[in-house]
Chains A and B, each alone.
Chain A
Amino acid sequence: MLSYLSNVVRFEGDPKIVQSGPSSLRDPDRLAKCLGWFSLGLGLAELIAPRRFTRALGMEGHETLVRAYGVREMGAGVLTLSVDKQTGLWSRVGGDGLDVVTLLGGLRRDNPMQRNVATALVMVLGIAVLDLFAAQTTTATHARRRGQQRLYQDRSGFPKGIEAAKQIAKHASQSPAPAPAKV
């Protein structure tokens, strides 16, 4: 869609897309992108409306903690959307752990919002599974170990050998000066 919009500023004669083909983005990358945007959205909500969260969970008085989690969530989101998405996703997995521990603290019999806490806990656990899956698959997809490992000791690039190459400068009266412009 954006590529069609960008044609507005493109020079008239430049080639335009007729049909889009396969992308370098793989499924784990796309999932990471979704999770990154989700992280940013949730983090922003926690940052600007912490009271809504604490009220819904019966955890009034913990607004600062929710804001701090919002900052953490946004940080993870930015990282997940960057080229270091693996780091971002693993930081989300760690964040999910923190969320679970915090929510477990709200699962008290005397908490009138205990049901909401349980629902939130289930949601966080669901997201945690997704995060873990995304972190593992993205890490595996982009691991350097994929494919054959080779060494290139036989690729000198000098058809006559290195010693002959070293002699070339010695035989030249001087290093070639920058060639003058053609015009």
Chain B
Amino acid sequence: MKALVWHGKEDIRCDRVTDPEIEDPRDAIVKVTSCAICGSDLHLFHNFIPAMLPGDIMGHEMMGEVVEVGSGVNGHLKKGDRVVVPFTINCDECEQCKRGNFSLCERSNRRKELSNKVFGHSLAGLFGYTHLTGGYPGGQAEYLRVPFADATHIKVPDGVSDEQALFLGDIFPTGWQAAVYCDIEPTDTVAVWGCGPVGQMCIRSAILLGAKQVVAIDRLAERLSMAEAGGAITINFDSESVIERLNELTQGKGPEKCIDATGFESHVTPQLPDTILDRAKQIMMLETDRPHVLREMIYVCKPGGIISIPGVYGGLSDKIPMGQLMNKGLTVRTGQTHVRRWTDDLMRRIQEGQIDPSFVITHDVSLDQGPEMYTVFRDKQDSCVKVVLRP
């Protein structure tokens, strides 16, 4: 089969690889009909996330048709079912899964010892990601083996298109979880840093959850225009001060809720000297992350407010103002997305026409064009916001 394979920093290739097979009774094989390039794939593309190996298949946002099921799937899935595959693999049986903490599944990470050493305790297995999270082959491929398939799937009802359902596997529940973690009240201003695909979903989620106003921060005109279309007030940090503008919009009090949809690769610009220092430290391996957004959020957030972090962080961040964080009494909520905790509700909202996540797709191309699209997406060329690939 064809698959997008990681060969090293900035080197993704469309290779021919062997087909996956059922290995465990709870496995299923899915013929991928649509998959997407996620912002966090770019962290792997840049080799900022450790423990990738040449030959790893990329992709953790995918859906398709079940073509084979193991004997232990016990009727939960059958051939021909259309499913979205969540990026977090969950067993549904461990203590964390029973609590709904699916991204912390205690059984699905097959590199548990490695994960224990790095994180203290093992995290769930993820598709198409580092070997710290199991190193499972990803879904930017023609076929995908889904472990714990009886639990790790979202069935797609008739009448819901691939484009509407695909993002239930990652960015939509990720944006939704970030907004839910904000405990939004009708008087709240929610500020969202980063108007990439996850940021766009955060904005729509905050609107649906009843925020008084949503403020979106980015520098790219196309992304800001999409944020504005979704109901946000926009701030272009290239041309205006984020802190001054946010204080203006909140009568000097700061936003009650702040969402970091940027993660550890904050944009580096001479206007923000800390970003240059962070980049220099990153190159010299003195720091793995560039946490400019975190610093700014902690500074500007209203005392007693909530900071929600759906953006990915890789390892170590310097100069986090813990004094401000502690003295302002801020609450920090973060984590990989517990995808299936939210997807029943989100699927209902799609079916009811409350939201159509396909608005974010700007590029729809064949899997063969994947390697090229990685650079288009990374370089923000051709007004690219979200790439969907068709195997």
Contact B46 A83 (CB under 8 A): yes
Annotate A19-52 by CB proximity to B: 1 below 8 A, 0 otherwise: 1111111100100000000000000000000000
| Known A-B contacts A22-B13, A23-B13, A25-B10; A155 and B222 likewise in contact (beta carbons under 8 Å) | no
Contact A83 B9 (CB under 8 A): yes
Contact B12 A23 (CB under 8 A): yes
Contact B231 A83 (CB under 8 A): no
B113 at interface, CB cutoff 8 A: no
Ordered by A's residue number, 13 sampled pairs between the chains whose C-beta atoms are within 8 Å are A3-B55, A15-B3, A17-B5, A18-B18, A29-B10, A83-B10, A155-B226, A158-B230, A162-B230, A168-B208, A175-B184, A178-B180, A181-B98
Q: Which residues on the B side are within 8 Å of A148 (C-beta)?
A: 382-383
Contact of A149 among B9, B360, B383 (CB under 8 A): B383
Annotate B198-240 by CB proximity to A: 1 below 8 A, 0 otherwise: 0010001001111000000000011001101111000000000
Contact A15 B18 (CB under 8 A): yes
Residue of A with least CB distance to B100: A181
Contact of A152 among B225, B283, B354, B376 (CB under 8 A): B225
- A16–B129 Cα distance when bound, in Å, is 16
- Smallest CB–CB gap between B199 and chain A, Å? 12
Number of A-B contacts (CB under 8 A): 215
Residue of A with least CB distance to B344: A179
Residue of A with least CB distance to B179: A175
Contact of B341 among A17, A151, A158, A179 (CB under 8 A): A179
B19 at interface, CB cutoff 8 A: yes
Q: Which residues on the B side are within 8 Å of A168 (C-beta)?
A: 208, 210, 354
A108 at interface, CB cutoff 8 A: no
Contact A2 B8 (CB under 8 A): yes
B248 at interface, CB cutoff 8 A: no
B97 at interface, CB cutoff 8 A: yes
Residue of A with least CB distance to B204: A157
- The number of chain A residues with a CB under 8 A from chain B is 63
A176 at interface, CB cutoff 8 A: yes
Contact of A84 among B145, B279, B368, B376 (CB under 8 A): B279
A110 at interface, CB cutoff 8 A: no
Q: A175-B180, A178-B100 are in contact. List 17 more A-B contacts (CB 8 A).
A: A11-B110, A15-B1, A15-B20, A15-B137, A20-B13, A24-B45, A83-B9, A147-B381, A149-B221, A149-B383, A152-B226, A155-B359, A157-B200, A165-B231, A169-B208, A169-B209, A182-B92
Residue of B with least CB distance to A26: B375
SS class of chain B's interface: helix, strand, loop or mixed? mixed
Contact B55 A24 (CB under 8 A): no
- The number of chain B residues with a CB under 8 A from chain A is 85
Contact of B359 among A7, A14, A156, A169 (CB under 8 A): A156
Annotate B1-33 by CB proximity to A: 1 below 8 A, 0 otherwise: 111010111111111111111010000000000
| Known A-B contacts A24-B12, A175-B180, A178-B341; A159 and B20 likewise in contact (beta carbons under 8 Å) | no
Contact B225 A157 (CB under 8 A): no
Residue of A with least CB distance to B224: A151
Contact A15 B97 (CB under 8 A): no
Residue of A with least CB distance to B349: A168
Contact B17 A144 (CB under 8 A): no
Contact A3 B7 (CB under 8 A): yes
Contact of A183 among B93, B342, B362, B374 (CB under 8 A): B93
Q: Which 10 A-B pairs have the closest CB atoms?
A: A169-B210, A147-B382, A3-B55, A157-B359, A181-B100, A24-B371, A3-B54, A151-B225, A152-B226, A6-B53
Contact A79 B210 (CB under 8 A): no
